[in-house]
Every structure is written in C-alpha cells, then in structure tokens.
C-alpha cells in the first residue's frame, strides 16, 4: 500500500492551538491542493480525537473515510459518518460487534488485534484499500511517521507561531526511523498562497 501523510503546521511545529475553534493553518490554495491530493487515494485516515474535536467531513468524491478508536466514543451523527462516502471504523476485536450495532449502516467496523500502523494497513488492504491519505492528529501522525509507514510526507508550514507548550504538535516523543542518519528526500518546495509546502519522499525497503 502507498501511504501519503499530509499535515499543516505552524512555524514552531503545532497542528492546532487550545481554543474552542479549529486553528486554520492552511491557505485557500493549500486546502484546494489537499482536496486534489485526497482524490488520488482510496482512503483518508484521521484519528478519533480529530473526529471528536473538529467534526471533519473530509470532502472527497471517492476516498473512503477511516478512523481508529479503542474506546468507541464517537458520535454516529457526526459529519464523518454522514453517508456521503463509505466510512470505516477500525476497532478492537472485542468491541466490533457492539460498535457495528451502534453505528449500523453509518460505518463498516474493521476489527484489529493491535493498533500499530502495520496492522491498520493490513486490515485496510484486506478491504480493498491500495492507497491511504493520513491526516492526523498527533497520535496517528507519530505512529505512522516514527515507524516509517509512509511513502510521501506533505508538510505545509503556516507563516505564524503558536507558542503554547500544551497545544498539540506534529508528533510526540518517539524513536523515529528517519533520524539524523536516515534523512527523508526533499522532492520540492511549493508556495500555495502564504503557505510553504514541502514534499518529502521516503524510500521503503
């Protein structure tokens, strides 16, 4: 499976602030480019925290919406499960039947024994997903980026600082395969409005 990670950050590496409203990091031009990139993938993945906090619709004409939950604490009435496109909910095996009853036709429940990226990718491949667009939040980004489970990283940098140590960052503490001795390949830098977009590639074995 091809895995594309896309994230927008402030200059100091934050993906949001702690206000009640979602922090807009992207420019209109960057958002349009992200929508186009989504259309090239079979599925879009965000964490359950992002679904709860931002209530994203993840507009795409083709891509399946995917989220991951251990607790099952998600609202079936949220925009993520509005039925415009297929939704997949990755859950622990012992919660699968319960969640399928609660979400009914709003989501297809995919049971996994572990929540690591390799298990998630394998589960999605078994349901026909061949390309995955990963958008966050911090826990999901950390898992995929630290394990090296990605082929491309699209990093959009907004021209301002957040400066709040308790706000969510791009990644949390972890051991990364792409450390100082294993650098990503920078394929290009683009200006989309006032946002700089860095396109990185990772060569996987």
What's the pLDDT tens digit per position in 37-72? 999 999 999 999 999 988 888 877 689 999 999 888
Question: Which of 10-14, 91-95, 187-191 is predicted least confidently?
Answer: 91-95
3-state secondary structure of 101: helix
147 near 177, Cβ under 8 Å? yes
Q: For residue 63, what is the DSSP state?
A: P
Does the pLDDT value for residue 191 go beyond 90?
Answer: yes
Q: Residue 131: pLDDT above 70?
A: yes
Residue 25: CB atoms within 10 Å: 22
Rounded CA-CA distance 112/91 in Å is 6
The pTM of the full predicted model, rounded to 2 decimals, is 0.94
28 DSSP assignment: H
Backbone phi and psi for residue 194, each to the nearest 5 degrees, phi listed first: -100, 15
CATH of domain 2-201: 3.40.430.10
Sign (positive/negative) of CA torsion 181, 186, 189, 194?
negative
- How far is it, in rounded angstroms, from Cα 9 to Cα 28? 15
pLDDT above 70 (res 1): yes
Write down the mean pLDDT value for the chain.
94
């Amino acid at each position: 499976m091809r895995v594309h990670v896309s994230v927008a950050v402030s200059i100091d590496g934050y993906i949001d602030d702690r206000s009640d409203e979602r922090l807009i990091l992207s420019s209109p031009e960057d958002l349009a480019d992200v929508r186009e990139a989504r259309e090239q993938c079979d599925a879009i993945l965000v964490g359950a925290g992002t679904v709860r906090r931002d209530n994203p619709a993840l507009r795409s004409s083709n891509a399946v919406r995917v989220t991951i939950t251990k607790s099952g604490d998600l609202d079936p009435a949220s925009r993520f499960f509005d039925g415009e496109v297929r939704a997949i909910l990755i859950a622990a095996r012992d919660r699968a039947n319960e969640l399928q009853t609660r979400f009914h036709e709003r989501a297809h429940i995919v049971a996994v024994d572990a929540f690591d990226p390799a298990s998630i990718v394998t589960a999605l491949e078994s349901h026909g997903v061949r390309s995955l667009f990963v958008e966050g939040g911090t826990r999901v980004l950390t898992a995929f980026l630290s394990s090296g489970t990605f082929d491309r990283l699209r990093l959009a940098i907004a021209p301002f600082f957040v400066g709040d140590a308790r706000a969510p960052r791009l990644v949390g503490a972890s051991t990364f395969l792409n450390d100082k001795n294993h650098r990503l390949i920078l394929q290009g830098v683009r200006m989309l409005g006032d946002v700089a977009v860095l396109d990185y590639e990772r060569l996987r074995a």
